[in-house]
Structure 1
Amino acid sequence: MLWRVLTETYQAGPAILHLERYGHGPAVVLIHGLSGSSRWWRRNVPALAEAHEVFVLDLAGYGRAWRQPALGVQAAAQLIATWLEERDMTGVTLIGHSMGGQISLRVAALVPGRVDLLVLACASGLLTSTPTRAALNLPRAVLVGRPSFVPRIVADALRAGPRNLWRSASDLLRDSVEELLPQIRIPTLVIWGGRDALVPVELGRALAAAIPGAEYHEIPRAGHVVMVDAPGTFNRLVLGFLQSHRRA
């Protein structure tokens, strides 16, 4: 059964997070990527909410928070870390996609006593490019993904607007997490789409290799939005990871 609590907001200074909360149990926080929104997790929330309290975020500048200026990676991470501290949340699992994975790494480093587990889905952070060059890969990324999801990608990108997209893309490409990775000492699962045209699988393998003890799984026919392209496999991998470490 899936429970839903009314949408909440959290504000620190001018920055606002929009949240939806589902289920009961240990906390799981879902963080979308560049041009995304909370809607990108709809194929995953029901499975996770069976045994967890799931918080689905809309980052400033995106989704329900589209009227806000987008924050940089580190500012977004600080906002989420402050929210976790103010709610006194512990034993948290962070699940981040693309830019959301990069933000999740930063949050885990800021409040290590509150984050127990980390799941990184096609996470940025090691990508070296420019916003213009990265944009050239977008058509191929769309073509290899789930066709029925294209309208959602387009709608969320239009809602965020070019200014927020450019600001986020420029910032995440400047914010390398390479030096941070050896400091991540919590169990980490890295999941990648084998056909990812935006963040190549070589970067996923390098990311996992740099995090002590990280598990790495590649889903061959999935693209960049791996949790949408292969939701059944993604959910099974995540739930297996959570169950094995919760028991431990």
Structure 2
Amino acid sequence: MDVTYESTKREVRTDQGVIRYHEAGDGPPLLLLHGSGIGVTGWRNYRGNLAVFAEHFHCYVLEFPGFGVSDPVERGGHPVMTAGDAVIRFMNALGIDSAPMIGNSMGGVVAVNLAITHPERVQKVISIGGVGASIFSANPSEGTRLLQEFADGPSREGLLRWLNCMVYDPKTITDDIVEERWAVAGRPDSHQTLEAMYGSESFARQQQFLADSAIPPYWSMMHKIQCPTLLTWGGDDRQCPPDMAMIPLRLIPDGELHIFPKCGHWVMVEAKQAFERVSLEFLQR
């Protein structure tokens, strides 16, 4: 199956701009939602997995607004909320009533939030790290602190430090990965989104808002998730340490957890075959 960048790229116009995505495969729909971080795109998160999932599903790899690929939205808001709105707009534009969702890190948070607020649109959730809250490990994590450093003062050296923090095996980070991430990180809307999520001032405002707000954090409402949920995690994740999984595992009524050994934050990359096997078994039950 041909799953090259050029052969799979698509776009759809919505009332808040163009959403770009990659499409491959036949069968029931499956949405793949990317994470945050430096120079991230949906294609870079899932290009290595798309061919396998496309053998069983009609796959859509979304590019969230504000990350340098899809049109940024005119009105602001936190990137996680913007991404969730984009998923609903995308599904409406393509006539997708409901679908299972795979979400890497921030993408997992987006999928979980949608499962809470729009349960009729989400059939199953597979999260890759990111969901929950730290209960034993330091907060902010090592990876988040490196993101803050980069957001406050971008540099190639800062990018490399963060990339090495994402993986268990540093050989995973090739020169090509560094170059392509650096290229996207320099785009104004991409860096603006990174600053909004991880810049020191923005991060401090977010923490103060959470402290002052009467609105409960999303993870405290995960008991409302009605769909089967698979939490996948790297045992050596330094961006979102594995103890984060304990709260969602306890709260989600139909939740389960799979931890991959010798694996960092990029489970779909470092534990590629095992992740695909576990995910397909879960999706096809």
CA displacement 1:52-90 (0-9 Å, x = unmatched): 000001111114227667852123212212332343313
Structure 1 position 87 matched with structure 2 position 94: yes
User: Which one of 41, 48, 56 corresponds to residue 37 of structure 1?
Assistant: 41
For residues 166-245 of structure 1, the aligned pairs below 5 Å read 166-169=195-198, 170=202, 176-244=217-285
Q: How far apart, in 1, do the equivalents of 2:98 and 2:163 lie?
A: 39
Q: How far apart, in 2, do the equivalents of 1:180 and 1:20 lie?
A: 31
CA displacement 1:4-48 (0-9 Å, x = unmatched): 5541134233x5421111111111111111132122101110000
Q: How far apart, in 2, do the equivalents of 1:131 and 1:209 lie?
A: 22
For residues 24-63 of structure 1, the aligned pairs below 5 Å read 24-35=26-37, 36-38=40-42, 39-63=44-68
Residue matched to 1:141: 165
Determine if contact 2:167/2:263 at 8 Å carries over to the other structure: no
In our comparison, the structure showing a higher alpha carbon Rg is 2
Deviation at 1:132, TM superposition (A): 9.7
Q: How far apart, in 2, do the equivalents of 1:208 and 1:63 lie?
A: 33
RMSD over aligned Cα, in angstroms?
2.9
Deviation at 1:140, TM superposition (A): 5.5
Deviation at 1:136, TM superposition (A): 3.3
Greater Cα shift, 44-53 or 167-176: 167-176
- In structure 2, what residue type is equivalent to 1:242? L
Determine if contact 1:189/1:214 at 8 Å carries over to the other structure: yes
Gaps of 5+ in 2: 148-161, 211-215
Residue matched to 1:163: 192
Q: How far apart, in 2, do the equivalents of 1:195 and 1:153 lie?
A: 22
Q: How far apart, in 2, do the equivalents of 1:198 and 1:47 lie?
A: 26
| Secondary structure of 1:29 counterpart | strand
Structure 1 position 76 matched with structure 2 position 86: no
| Secondary structure of 1:192 counterpart | strand
CA displacement 1:166-206 (0-9 Å, x = unmatched): 11335787593222210001011110011100111000233
Q: How far apart, in 1, do the equivalents of 2:186 and 2:26 lie?
A: 34
Greater Cα shift, 203-212 or 154-163: 154-163
1:158–1:234: structure 2 CA closer, same or farther, 3 Å change rule? farther
Gaps of 5+ in 1: none
TM-score by structure 2 length? 0.74
- In structure 2, what residue type is equivalent to 1:94? M
Deviation at 1:150, TM superposition (A): 4.3
Q: How far apart, in 2, do the equivalents of 1:129 and 1:63 lie?
A: 28
1:25–1:195: structure 2 CA closer, same or farther, 3 Å change rule? same
- In structure 1, what residue type is equivalent to 2:196? R
Determine if contact 1:28/1:52 at 8 Å carries over to the other structure: yes
The percent identity for this pair of structures is 26
Residue matched to 1:64: 69
CA displacement 1:80-135 (0-9 Å, x = unmatched): 12332343313401110111111111222232112111100012452584599822
User: Which one of 115, 118, 129 corresponds to residue 122 of structure 1?
Assistant: 129
Residue matched to 2:152: none
